[in-house]
């Protein structure tokens, strides 16, 4: 069995990003910091998808004036495109809801608006 770059460093980077994002989501109370944690989680997942499809010494999978060499896998790059667009759409909706919550209750602390009022 062949050995790649020792100890799989990009996968450890993905584990670090997802771990930091999970800690932020669990422990912060400010709503803007929660949204930042969710955005870091989305970035970690996109990085994981791209580094799954790397071939050692490969070039981009495009045939126009292509240099010689083996090509990397194109399917994880297509899935990452979709994931980035979905992350942008979710971020826009979350920020709009935070603006509405601030106008309705007057604070962006998630402990202030736990009990439903009329």
**CA distance linking residue 49 with residue 64, whole number of Å:** 25
66 in contact with other proteins (CB under 8 A):
yes
* Distance of closest approach, residue 18 Cβ to other proteins, in angstroms: 6
- Euclidean distance between CA atoms 97 and 103, whole angstroms: 10
86 in contact with other proteins (CB under 8 A): yes
Among 85, 105, 107, 109, contact with other proteins (rule: CB under 8 A): 85
12 binds other proteins (CB under 8 A): yes
Q: Give Cα 27 distance to the centre of its chain.
A: 19
DSSP letter at 8? -
- Distances, alpha carbon 96 to alpha carbons 32, 72, 100, in Å: 11, 39, 6
Q: Residue 32, interface with other proteins (CB under 8 A)?
A: no
Interface pick for other proteins out of 29, 30, 32, 89 (rule CB under 8 A): 89
Q: If binding is defined by CB under 8 A, does position 100 make contact with other proteins?
A: yes
Q: Report if residue 9 touches other proteins, rule: CB under 8 A.
A: yes
Q: Report the distance separating Cα 60 and Cα 33, nearest Å.
A: 36
d(CA 50, CA 29): 32
Which residues here bind other proteins, judged by CB under 8 A? Answer: 1-5, 7-12, 14-15, 18-19, 22-23, 26, 51-57, 60-68, 71, 73-75, 77-79, 81-82, 85-86, 88-90, 92-93, 95-97, 99-100
């Amino acid at each position: 069995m062949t050995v790649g770059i020792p100890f799989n460093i990009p996968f450890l980077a993905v584990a670090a990003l997802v771990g930091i994002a999970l800690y932020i989501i669990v422990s912060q109370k400010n709503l803007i910091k929660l949204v930042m944690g969710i955005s870091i989680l989305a970035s970690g997942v996109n990085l994981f998808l791209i580094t799954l499809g790397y071939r050692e010494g490969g070039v981009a999978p495009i045939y126009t004036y292509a240099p010689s060499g083996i090509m990397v896998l194109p399917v994880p790059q297509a899935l990452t495109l979709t994931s980035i667009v979905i992350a942008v759409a979710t971020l826009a909706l979350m920020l709009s809801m935070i603006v509405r919550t601030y106008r309705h209750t007057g604070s962006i602390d998630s402990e202030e608006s736990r009990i439903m009022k009329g």
